[in-house]
Homo-oligomer: A and B are copies of this chain.
Amino acid sequence: MQAKLALARRFCENGRPDRKAGAYTLSTSSAPKVNPGNFFEDFRLGQQIRHATPRTVTTGDVALYNGLFGSRFAVQSADTFAKSIGYPRAPVDDLLVFHMVFGKTVPDISLNAVANLGYADCRFLKAVYPGATLTAASEVIGLKENSNRKTGIVYVRSRGFDETGDTVLDYARWVMVRKRDEKAAPPGDHMPELPKAVTPAQLGAACPRIDAAAYDNVLAGSPHRFGDYKAGDEIDHIVGVTVEDAEHMIATRLYQNTARIHFDHFTESKGRFGKRLIYGGHVISLARALSFNGLGNAFHVAAINGGRHVAPLFAGLTVFAWSEVLETASLPGRDDVGALRLRTVATKDRPCADFPLKQGDDSDPAVILDLDYWVLMPK
């Protein structure tokens, strides 16, 4: 499965595969103060990019995120619950942090993207609380021009920081980007080595040592702790949720993600899909919220090993999800929490009682997300 996770290019989450780069060039020349985004030949190996728009995360952001996804993990929902196990207060949902950091990278990295190819080595390194201010930066860690000379793959390591300068999130991403000029010289091939999965020893930095005995299963909504899960467990999360255009646009704007393919029906109605494409991260958040039903004590996403947006999602469709426990692991030196490596698959307009893709079948057209990640659970 890792091979499939490692490189996927089915569709584009923040570019426009079907339009010529020329459209951007034209606009750029007529409006030189407008951000044209970077094209493939603009990236240099080792290049450091500081991204724009710092953002103070507030309880307002948290409330809107809750309204959009309906998350029910008790640690993020209640200050009292979080304090009872050792947090200073309820932390911000990990995926909200991810989306806010990711959003900042879009104007520099993927405005001219054809396809978002993959993530790897994504680690949550420090808990974020309301009041923190997030910034982001990326380093170009790989470049490879495609044989058609029209596009190339850009590998970046992106990091999110809080206002103290501490890294809260670190991940690698690779994306296919158009060239401005097909004749521009190729940069030579530099493919970074990326781990197939984050190791258990790397997990838990964003989770304070918790008082597992004080963790109240009833309040949390699930009697099942780390020890109750084993590799191979399959869980149908049962419930489906339909997505509306207003919802995914509000969410994606909340993250200040500027990829226009999510927002501009006029242009997209003439494009490849005939409609706005939903930000891939929206599906991840929906699947995470659905996964509460069966994984209610998986209170922290500690790392994302890889993931594919297997097919696009559009408004009006209903998302379902199921998960498989790929692996269970202890964290070195910690007896308060354990880690589950999960594969969560999301589908559109297709309930998951029979676990689509379970046998590695890659052809179910209803599957939209195949995510490999680590969560922490109290022991």
Copies of this chain, whole number: 3
Q: Are B59 and A276 in contact (CB under 8 A)?
A: no
Q: Which residues of B sit under 8 angstroms from A131, Cβ to Cβ?
A: 79
Do A52 and B265 have beta carbons less than 8 Å apart?
no
Are B35 and A80 in contact, CB atoms less than 8 angstroms apart?
no
- Cβ of A66 under 8 Å from chain B: yes
Asked if A177 is at the interface of the complex by the 8 Å CB criterion, the answer is: no
1/0 contact trace for A125-139 toward B, CB 8 Å?
A: 000000101010000
Which residues 271-326 of A sit at the B interface, judged by CB distance below 8 A? Answer: 276, 293-296, 316-318, 320
Query: Considering the chains assembled together, what is the distance between the CA atoms of A252 and B219 in angstroms?
Result: 20
User: Would you call B133 and A70 a contact (CB within 8 A)?
Assistant: no
Q: Which residues of B sit under 8 angstroms from A61, Cβ to Cβ? A: 60, 63, 66
Min CB gap A342→B, angstroms: 13
Q: Which of A116-124, A189-197, A207-215, A234-242 contacts B (4 or more CB under 8 A)?
A: A234-242
- B276–A258 touching, CB < 8 Å: no
> Which residues of chain B come closer than 8 Å to A264, judged between CB atoms?
239-242, 318
A69 an interface residue at 8 Å Cβ cutoff? yes
Q: CB-CB < 8 A to A90: which residues of B?
A: 56
**Which of B56, B237, B241, B256 is A34 in contact with, Cβ under 8 Å?**
B237
In the complex, which residues of chain B have a beta carbon less than 8 angstroms from the beta carbon of A296? Answer: 35, 52
For A233, list chain B residues within 8 Å (CB): 33
For residue A18, CB closer than 8 A to chain B, the reply is: no
Name the CB-closest residue of B to A107: B221
Please, which residue of chain B has its CB at the minimum distance from the CB of A233? B33
Q: Which of B31, B56, B64, B244 contacts A236 (CB 8 A)?
A: B31
- Contact assessment for B59 and A79 in the assembled complex, using a CB-CB cutoff below 8 Å: no
Q: Closest CB-CB distance, A246 to chain B, in whole Å?
A: 4
Whole-angstrom CA separation of A224 from B239 in the bound complex? 47
**Chain B residues with Cβ under 8 A from A244's Cβ?**
244-246, 249
Q: Does A220 touch B at the CB level, under 8 Å?
A: yes
Q: A residues near B, CB below 8 A? A: 26-27, 30-31, 33-35, 50, 52-56, 58-64, 66-70, 72, 74, 77-81, 90, 107, 131, 133, 135, 163, 218-222, 224, 228-229, 233-242, 244-247, 249-254, 256, 258, 260, 263-267, 276, 293-296, 316-318, 320, 349, 351, 353
Sample (5) of A-B pairs whose CB atoms are under 8 Å apart = A50-B218, A53-B78, A53-B220, A60-B64, A240-B266
Q: Which 7 A-B pairs have the closest CB atoms?
A: A60-B63, A52-B221, A70-B253, A266-B318, A54-B78, A60-B60, A246-B246
